[in-house]
Structure 1
Amino acid sequence: MDMFLTCTTSVPTASPVVPSPVVPWWSFGKTAIAATALVLVRDGLLHLDDIQPDTPYTLRHLLQHRSGLPDYGGLAEYHAAVERGEDPWPISDLLQRCDAGRLRYPPGEDWGYSNIGYWHLTQIVAHAAGQPFGMVLEQRVLAPLGIAGVRLAQDRADLTGLPGIVGGYHPGWVYHGLLIGPLDAATRLLHGLLTGNLLPPDLLDAMRKPHWLGGPVTDRPWLAPGYGLGLMCGEASAGQHVEGHSGGGPGSVVAVYHRPAEGVTAAGFASGTDMAALEAAVFRYT
């Protein structure tokens, strides 16, 4: 398994272990989406606990995967289409195939990971700001944190030459958007978000407050996992409290985590599908 690791601390001289490659951020993008939504809450354009128009759920429900919306990750025909190298389905087709109009539980009464929920978040953010989501992310999160070289992949050509990409994969299969950028930019984004002043203390506290998901995760280095607002957070099996996000797609996995007790943020990217090994390496590095 080819693996890259990088680290950020409060020490200005901290540097990556190896030159940081440009990689797909996979579901670490959810943390960036959540940060963008919370900045709009900060600015009064959105409200965490207002019911969204024509729905029974709130922004907080969507951010914490507690809306009741389904996920397309378990849809066998989705994975088959990706494997065949097809173009992404129109969003209306995806929602119909997932029966997305039927909530799986009343909002707030359970938890279920939902990529569809995060697609809805990008639409809500774009509508509230009156700009495409990518532009809102750049102007309100990336630029204030000094993050450059990160963008939403639009087509197959954007992924050419990137490590850990299966040939022919179209980034549109990540319906909430596939961010690509240097791995060390992911560490700096998370570090700046959790240790800086982009969000006021009350919103940062809300982001970091987990909904606990039970006991240890089989074959993963999680002792007590939880999910905040766009953050996987909880106790790792080695005893650390960690906050960040893991993700994966055809050909690779990524993990980006902060350890508040030490003020250290680390990221790892690896080819293949061994998320457990990558998370364990990143948790050790933090």
Structure 2
Amino acid sequence: MAVVTAVAAGALAAGALAPSAAFASGKPDTVQQSLNALVKDDGLPAALASVKGRDGRTRTYTAGTGNLATGAKPPVDGQIRAGSNTKTFTAVVVLQLVAEGKIGLDEPVETYLPGLLRGDGIDGHTITVRQLLQHTSGLPEYMAAPALADFIPIQFRYFEPRELLDGALAQKAHFAPGTSFEYNNTNYLVAGLLVQKVTGRPVGEEITKRVIDRIGLRHTYFPTPGDTTVHEAHPHGYLSLPDAPPVDYTDMDTSMAWAAGAVVSTNTDLNTFFTALLGGRLLPPAQLAQMRTTVPADPLGPGVRYGLGLQSRPLSCGGLAWGHGGTIVGYRSRGAVTDDGRAANITVTTVPSDDAAHHMSTALDTALCH
């Protein structure tokens, strides 16, 4: 998810840095050095990465401490909460339904969810499905609602999607639909409700059937209601608080994130997902072309553009990388793939400071360019 109010703590006990998994020869590895710096210099508990290079080989990396209570190292390619990478999964399902003729991209939300979107400056007649997926709807952010202001008391609280939506609709629209871009979780909350209305099935089931099982993501799942654990070996995720020890937030009820951010995955599975998506294995050419049609998204970074649940960003070595990234309490991921088959995903185990977040973006560029 994009909106998390926690700030990164000062230097956490990081533990020993894991040796590079990439080169047995001992040659210095820029990705490993980047992860080491995220732990040592930025004070993040752990950093993990999976990188598929031009040679087609996948290399995995870890740095830091996977469990601050025990001092255990992070598991190689451990499961992580993938946050807003979920938006791309949700967008794929919506676009598959478009390809099947069950949803029109430029139809108003009102066509499918009559009466749902109503509020101050908010009207489902004027917001299209495309604008939801593109973050150009003007809907306000449900994560800004008072019920979500403090993460400590809601770690294991279950939220119905409609309850979350009500928190957004109590606010005023941010702009007229189609007139601006604002990254916003509410758009994908509504997209999840749209999937459920059109298919008659839970959005998690549709994501599982149409995406996860279809391309064999063996370490990826959409948590079912009440499932608060991470199923396989994983680094712990931490809520960083000012002037207080970090809070272990690994186990949580992800209903607060739902279709905008609930998926659990691994760095390698995320690389596989985005590679399959860009390679045409999940969408017909027409819908993939729509997904890759972008608008400026400068708030997400220099040169970043946003399509339909998909971001592009320029690389220092030339060309574009396509992916998404995700933030949820305890984890942040940054990842992308290139049209020539390179792929990288990096995850850290607390929401980083702005400086550390910039270092993550630089590390991703390094992983894809070197």
TM > 0.5: yes
In the alignment, structure 1 residue 41 sits paired with structure 2 residue 125: no
Out of 147-156 and 95-104, give the one that drifted further. Answer: 95-104
Deviation at 1:236, TM superposition (A): 4.4
2:344 is matched with which residue?
A: 266
1:276 is matched with which residue?
A: 358
Q: What do residues 177-197 of structure 1 show as CA deviations (whole Å, max 9, x unaligned)?
A: 511122211110000000133
In the alignment, structure 1 residue 186 sits paired with structure 2 residue 258: no
Out of 62-71 and 243-252, give the one that drifted further. Answer: 243-252
Q: What do residues 143-165 of structure 1 show as CA deviations (whole Å, max 9, x unaligned)?
A: 22222232122446323774242
Q: Is the 8 A contact 1:61 1:108 kept in 2?
A: yes
- Indicate how the Cα distance of structure 1 residues 24 and 61 shifts in structure 2: closer, same or farther if over 3 A, else same: same
Q: Distance in 2 between matches of 1:139 and 1:65?
A: 25
Q: Is the 8 A contact 1:28 1:256 kept in 2?
A: no
In the alignment, structure 1 residue 209 sits paired with structure 2 residue 293: yes
Q: Which runs of 5+ in 2 are unaligned?
A: 1-38, 40-45, 62-75, 115-123, 238-247
In the alignment, structure 1 residue 4 sits paired with structure 2 residue 76: no
1:242 to 308, 321, 331: 321
Q: Is the 8 A contact 1:24 1:179 kept in 2?
A: yes
TM-score of the pair, normalised by structure 1: 0.86
Q: Distance in 1 between matches of 2:79 and 2:214?
A: 21
2:80 to 2, 23, 27: 23
Q: Which runs of 5+ in 1 are unaligned?
A: none
1:83 to 140, 152, 165: 152
Q: What do residues 37-85 of structure 1 show as CA deviations (whole Å, max 9, x unaligned)?
A: 11111122212111122312111110001111111334465131x1334
Q: How does 1:1-286 map to 2 (within 5 A)?
A: 1=39, 2-8=46-52, 14-18=57-61, 19-53=76-110, 54=114, 55=124, 56-75=126-145, 77-80=147-150, 82-86=151-155, 87-100=157-170, 102-153=172-223, 154-155=225-226, 157-159=228-230, 162-165=234-237, 166-167=248-249, 169-176=252-259, 177-214=261-298, 222-236=301-315, 239-260=318-339, 262-272=340-350, 273=352, 274-286=356-368
Q: What do residues 208-231 of structure 1 show as CA deviations (whole Å, max 9, x unaligned)?
A: 1211134xx6xx8x4311111001
- The RMSD of aligned alpha carbons is 2.5
Deviation at 1:233, TM superposition (A): 1.4
Q: Distance in 2 between matches of 1:248 and 1:229?
A: 18
Identity %: 22
Q: Distance in 2 between matches of 1:9 and 1:100?
A: 47
Q: Distance in 1 between matches of 2:194 and 2:85?
A: 19
Deviation at 1:10, TM superposition (A): 7.8
Secondary structure at 1:268's aligned position in 2? strand
Secondary structure at 1:84's aligned position in 2? helix
Q: Distance in 2 between matches of 1:155 and 1:14?
A: 38
Q: What do residues 101-128 of structure 1 show as CA deviations (whole Å, max 9, x unaligned)?
A: 7432221111122211101111111221
Secondary structure at 2:322's aligned position in 1? strand
Q: How many residues align?
A: 278
Deviation at 1:238, TM superposition (A): 6.0
Q: Distance in 2 between matches of 1:92 and 1:58?
A: 19
Q: Is the 8 A contact 1:22 1:180 kept in 2?
A: yes
Secondary structure at 2:138's aligned position in 1? coil
Amino acid aligned to 2:348 = A
Deviation at 1:175, TM superposition (A): 3.5
